[in-house]
Every structure is written in structure tokens, then in C-alpha cells.
Amino acid sequence: MIDTITSTTEKLIEIYEDKDDARKDEIAALGDQTATGTNVFIIREYHRKHPAARVVDIDANEEYEALLKEEPVIEFTGEHIILSYLMVMVSVLA
């Protein structure tokens, strides 16, 4: 058991020493890309050159505002009215 721990520790030390710079290259590659593979450097450079730039979809904003201003139409059937009446009566009599 001690031999296993010792050999595992030696392997980890070799990995952390990174003699062939493989670990360093992997970390650098991870730092330059997001999960989708987009180069973060390009995005940062764009925002550095154009700090006030922002994306605005005017058509979508107008559509959402129109929906918010619209009054909802709620129609009740006779069954709903009767059920509401019964629920009020039960709560009053209880």
C-alpha cells in the first residue's frame, strides 16, 4: 500500500513539474477559449476598442412593449361562475 502511494506521488510530482510544458499549454488553451470555443481575446479586444457598443434589437423591444400595453381578455364560462359562487357561499357559511 505504501508502494502504491509512493508511486502515485512520484507520478503527480512529474506532472506538476511539467518538464515538456504540456500542462502549461493546456492551461493556456483553456484560458483563451470559452465553452463554445469562441476566442476570448478577440471579444476583449473588440470591447476595448468599442467600450460603448451594445446590442439592441429594436424590433423585439417594440413587440414586447406592445404586449405589455395590451389588456388581457379573460372570459369565464357559466361553469366557472357557478363554481366561484359556490366557493364564496361555502366560505361564508363556514
User: CA angle, 73 as apex, 71 and 76 as ends, to 5°?
Assistant: 150
pTM here is: 0.28
- pLDDT of residue 1 exceeding 70: yes
Determine contact, residues 38/45, Cβ cutoff 8 Å.
no
Report the alpha-carbon distance of residue 70 to residue 40 in Å, rounded: 42
pLDDT for the residue 94: 67
The full set of domain ranges for the chain reads 2-93
pLDDT digits (tens, 9 = 90+) for 37-91: 566 777 777 778 877 776 656 666 677 777 777 776 777 677 778 888 888 888 8
pLDDT for the residue 88: 86
